[in-house]
Structure 1
Amino acid sequence: MADLSTEIQQQVLAARDAKQTLNIVGGGSKSFMGREAVGERLDISGHRGIVNYQPVELVLTARAGTPLTEIEAALAENNQMLAFEPPRFSGVATLGGTLACNQSGPGRP
């Protein structure tokens, strides 16, 4: 995973230096929302996985490309759930995309 992290970091730094925009894409399940995305595609779908999960502490750390289904499955093993209900436009919705679009669903309040 370190190689992919380094690759993503290098692509971001190169875009910054070239003053070039990036179109960051994970699952692409929300691409229909808002304006059409522009910029060089930066695919983070491979940058996925739960990095740390402490069920007793109610703390989970995951990479941006991690599908919500993967996170919810890990939580369900410990009778836990997300504290919000992000909408699923497809089975490939990722944690990063959910946060980037600020979608939390009706359970957030």
Structure 2
Amino acid sequence: MEDALIGRIRAAYENHSPLIIQGGGSKTFYGSADEGEVLSARMLTGVVDYQPKELVLTARAGTPLMAIEALLAEQNQMLAFEPPHFAGPATLGGCIAAGLSGPRRPYAGAARDFVLGVRMIDGTGQ
């Protein structure tokens, strides 16, 4: 699945074709109006690892926030920040990319403050 995304990004880069990277599409109103082919991150979904005692969760960018919140609730845990859920299934990648952390941000911190690491594909497909 990552190889397919890398291939599409490299092709777009080589052809100078803009891409609109989108997960759940819940924040299409946010920011400037983009033009280009939609590159969906929905295929990058799922929790890779969850260690409740360590308070560490590893998930892919297209994982719906509702799925993460449900998994955490099973262990009486929750996200420290309060990401807004707009129309459509908000994703972890969209939350981090948009920088929307919700009303708890002044007290708990921003979503980015809780990111311990990231593996990503850049605009050239690397």
Normalising by structure 1, we get a TM-score of 0.90
Shift of 1:17: 2.2
Sequence identity of aligned pairs in percent?
Answer: 56
Aligned pairs for 1:23-62 (under 5 A) are: 23-62=20-59
Provide the aligned C-alpha RMSD in A. 1.2
**Mapping of residues 1-109 of structure 1, within 5 Å:** 4-109=1-106
Count of paired positions: 106
Shift of 1:108: 2.2
Larger mean Cα displacement after TM superposition, 59-68 or 85-94: 85-94
Unmatched runs of 5 consecutive residues or more in structure 2: 107-126
Shift, 1:19, TM fit? 2.6
Measured in 2, the distance between the counterparts of 1:51 and 1:19 equals: 33
CA contact (8 A) 2:25 2:88 kept: no
Q: Give the TM-score normalised by the residue count of structure 2.
A: 0.78
Distance 1:95 1:79 in 2: 20
How far 1:87 sits from its partner (Å)? 0.8
